[in-house]
Amino acid sequence: MHNIKKPKIDNLEQYLENCIDKLRKTKIKTKNMIPEIVRKCNLYEKNASNNTLYLLNKTIFDDEIVQNQSFKKLYDNHMSKQSSYAYDLYNKLLASAPFDKCPYCSQGDVEELDHFLPKTDDGYPEFSIIPINLVPSCHRCNHKKHEFIPTNKDKQFIHPYFINNINDHRWLYCKIDYKIENKPTFIFYINCPNEIETSIQECINFQFNKLELAILYSKNAANEYAGIKSIIDKYQEDKETLIQLYSDKAKSYEKHIRNSWQTAMYYALLEEIS
């Protein structure tokens, strides 16, 4: 999990107006909603900053077609479609994740935009093309997160644009199990320090479980271990060299993303040998 710089849009009203202009049937009715959408976007900013998006009320639409179709069409036909009006912005958002890595897992490559609050009828269709609601993500996380609607303070995803201090402290750890001889199993778990606010701790745990990150990280770690196995074997009798290797790797990964599976894995190997 890591944060991404929040996208900025100079004139939200104008952006919405230009996008909605592309609609055919429901243009007028949808345009009438612009002041309400802008008001909701301001509330979104406020709530997301306090990690209280679960409190954001659903919009009551006067017109079912506007609710069911217009906003989805805006995203599908006028933003994510090649050469459409907001396609440049779509690509800019996709490219905004550091190192092209998904902020939900810090592992997968960015492939698509996730609607942080889903654009489904029972969700928040009005945010379908709002940049702060569009998070670059890998396919796996987007698929597992699916159309999740937060309804509880402790069961929310960490919003990568708004929760900026998620890696100030270490909370991802790993232990090594040798049930199968000579074949270590890397078991990842969360252990948050008290410095992290309780509700954020709960959200980290929720996201870790919901996205099944322990499984993903364990597979990656097994693969990484297989890749360095010949080095480990070479220095089997030279403990100091192995300590140096694990320590250098752990510190380097920690500097890159503190709570990456690599950081946790190398600290676990270091602890085991020290």
Provide the β-strand partners of residue 101: 109
The one among 4, 33, 93, 141 contacting Zn ion by CB under 5 A: 141
110 in contact with Zn ion (CB under 5 A): no
Closer of 108 and 131 to Zn ion (Cβ)? 108
Closer residue to Zn ion in complex, CB, 104/188: 104
Which of these segments, 14-22, 86-94, 96-104, 263-271, binds Zn ion (CB under 5 A)?
96-104
Which positions from 41 through 70 interact with Zn ion, judged by CB under 5 A? none
CA distance 115 to 61: 19
102 binds Zn ion (CB under 5 A): yes
Q: Which two tokens stand for residue 252?
A: 């380097």
CB atoms within 10 A of CB 36: 13
- We find the least distance from the C-beta atom of residue 118 to Zn ion, in angstroms, to be 17
**Minimum distance of Zn ion from residue 195's CB (angstroms):** 25
According to DSSP, the residues that pair with 176 across neighbouring strands are: 186
Is position 174 an interface residue for Zn ion (rule: CB under 5 A)? Answer: no
DSSP one-letter string for 114-138 = EESS--STTS-GGGTT-GGGEEEE-
* Nearer CB in complex with Zn ion: 69/137: 137
**Stretch in the footprint of Zn ion (CB under 5 A) among 35-43, 97-105, 163-171, 196-204:** 97-105
In terms of DSSP bridges, do strands 112-115 and 134-137 run parallel, antiparallel, or are they unpaired?
antiparallel
Count Cβ atoms below 10 Å from residue 247 Cβ, excluding itself. 16
Sequence-distant (≥ 6) Cβ neighbours of residue 93 within 8 angstroms: 7, 113, 131, 134, 136
Going by C-alpha positions, the residue among 93, 172, 102, 167 that lies closest to residue 141 is 102
Q: Which residue number, 85 or 217, has a Cβ lying nearer to Zn ion?
A: 217
| Interaction of residue 257 with Zn ion, rule CB under 5 A | no
158 binds Zn ion (CB under 5 A): no
Structure tokens at 255: 């500097």
Q: From the CB of 20, what's the least distance to Zn ion, in Å?
A: 31
User: Does 108 sit near Zn ion (CB under 5 A)?
Assistant: yes
Give CA torsion, residues 102, 96, 200, 171, to 10 deg. 50
CB of 159 to Zn ion, least distance (A): 14
Angle, to 10 degrees, between the axis of helix 71-78 and the axis of helix 12-20?
80
| 245 is a site residue for Zn ion (CB under 5 A) | no
> Whole-number minimum distance, CB 96 to Zn ion, in Å?
15
CA distances from 50 to 37, 159, 196, 262 (A): 20, 11, 14, 30
CB of 1 to Zn ion, least distance (A): 9
The verdict on 138 binding Zn ion (CB under 5 A) reads yes
Output 138 or 174, the one with its CB closest to Zn ion.
138
- Which residues contact Zn ion by CB under 5 A? 102, 104-105, 108, 138, 141
